[in-house]
Amino acid sequence: MSKSQIPGERVRILADEFLAIPTTSYQQRSLGAALALFLDTATKTALHRAELVSKSALSRLLNEYSWDTAQGWTVLQGAQWDALLLAARRKHRPLLRLSIDLTSIEKKGSVLPFVRVYNEVHGIHLVVLFAEYGAVKFPVGYRMYKGKGTATPVTLARELLRTVPDSIKRRFRVRVLADSGFEAAVFLDEVRQLGFEFVVGVRSTRRTLHPGEVTVADCPHGGNVELKNWPYDTLVLGRVDRGDRVFHAVSSELMEGDEVIAEGKARWNEESFFKEGKHQFGLAQFALRTAVGLDRWVLLVFLAWTLAILHREVGMTLEACATLALMMVMPEVYLYRLLRTLSKNEEFLRQHGYSLHYARCNS
């Protein structure tokens, strides 16, 4: 993408490139209808609510047809990293925050792919990498936790961090944010080897070597600590009391204790994505019974969110941005809804002395 492109142009280019991936016009039309469904944040995302194509057509598109999903991920992630680089142009050593977290989507039954019980939640469990620079913030990758005996969430998080492009590593200072579920020494060591900074939550029972063989709960806010099973840099400890619980986090960088806590709170941008992604962009409505269907569903959620963010301006809600993106990407769907609304209200308008007529203009 050119550095001179305005947000609307970037939305159009990304959508056009993505929708051109299927090799037949029929599949392209179905993919466009699917994307419109995910951009409609006011309506529950379900295949039977799709417009211009049937529910069965979307089911075949997501579960059966062999269009290149990997290329879809390549197109999306390339656009996301490019947008972050564009946002940071002419900045000196900009700071990119990468949050890692696991979210669970509760599901009943066992016919859906990868349904497992984890942390007492029966459902699908995703480890998500979320990138943020200023107002530009995207989910840039995910891995599926497949249950006991498979790769752990920590291992999946390490895999995700390795996918960060070299161009991003060269351009940004990268700071990894994670909660205490990712405090393992192997995760911290992975971050260190990649050359990234980190602010990571730790359990109150985590043992230290400095300022003595105690737990982090015994260490002062803003103090320096050395973790017992991580014999590298001295870390800075932050702690915050939230009434019934005290939370702790450590930073690889020299900063005040309050700064450590403030950085830890920046991770809530990913939590916001989880909430809005589930309830507005359809992440929680997944009900397909194939692994490829699940991957394509998540891909469309990530794409819809990205298109909305690329269209975002100061003061605009995410819902308004998604609507603008829909108008630009799939104008025929928006027009269909508009005409349908007019038709439904034709009798009401007539009762109040109005008669509307419209015709298509040939330009």
Q: Kindly report, residue by residue over 316-338, the tens digit of the pLDDT.
A: 889 999 988 988 888 877 777 77
Q: Which residue has the tokens 């939305």?
A: 11
Which residues of the chain fall short of a pLDDT of 50?
Answer: 1-4
pLDDT of residue 2: 44
pLDDT of residue 6: 57
Q: What is the per-residue pLDDT across 279-292, written as a single tens digit (0 to 9) for each? A: 999 999 998 889 99
Collapsing DSSP to helix, strand or coil, 172 comes out as coil
Write out the H or E segment, with its range, that includes residue 227.
strand 224-227
Question: For residue 221, what is the DSSP state?
Answer: T
The answer to whether 86 touches 3, Cβ cutoff 8 Å, is yes
Query: Where are the chain's structural domains?
Result: 180-266
Q: Between β-strands 235-241 and 224-227, what pairing exists: parallel, antiparallel or unpaired? A: antiparallel
pLDDT of residue 347: 84
Cα dihedral 308, 276, 80, 47 in deg (nearest 10):
-70
Give the Cα separation of 34 and 56 in Å (integer). Answer: 12
Give the Cα-Cα-Cα angle 68, 58, 129 (nearest 5 degrees).
55
Give the Cα separation of 176 and 251 in Å (integer). Answer: 10
State both tokens at 65.
């047809």
Global pTM value? 0.91
Give the Cα separation of 233 and 197 in Å (integer). Answer: 11
pLDDT of residue 360: 75
Question: For residue 22, what is the DSSP state?
Answer: S
Give the Cα separation of 48 and 58 in Å (integer). Answer: 9
Q: Which of 14, 111, 27 is nearest to 62 (CA)?
A: 27
Collapsing DSSP to helix, strand or coil, 317 comes out as coil
pLDDT of residue 52: 82
C-alpha dist (Å) from residue 245 to 47, 120, 217: 42, 20, 11
Collapsing DSSP to helix, strand or coil, 188 comes out as helix
C-alpha dist (Å) from residue 262 to 101, 111, 251, 256: 17, 42, 11, 10
pLDDT of residue 49: 83
pLDDT of residue 363: 59
Q: What is the per-residue pLDDT across 189-198, written as a single tens digit (0 to 9) for each? A: 999 999 999 9
Give the Cα separation of 124 and 297 in Å (integer). Answer: 13
The answer to whether 320 touches 343, Cβ cutoff 8 Å, is no
Q: Which residue has the tokens 């497949």?
A: 146
Collapsing DSSP to helix, strand or coil, 216 comes out as helix
Tell how far CA 217 is from the center of its chain: 33
pLDDT of residue 94: 97
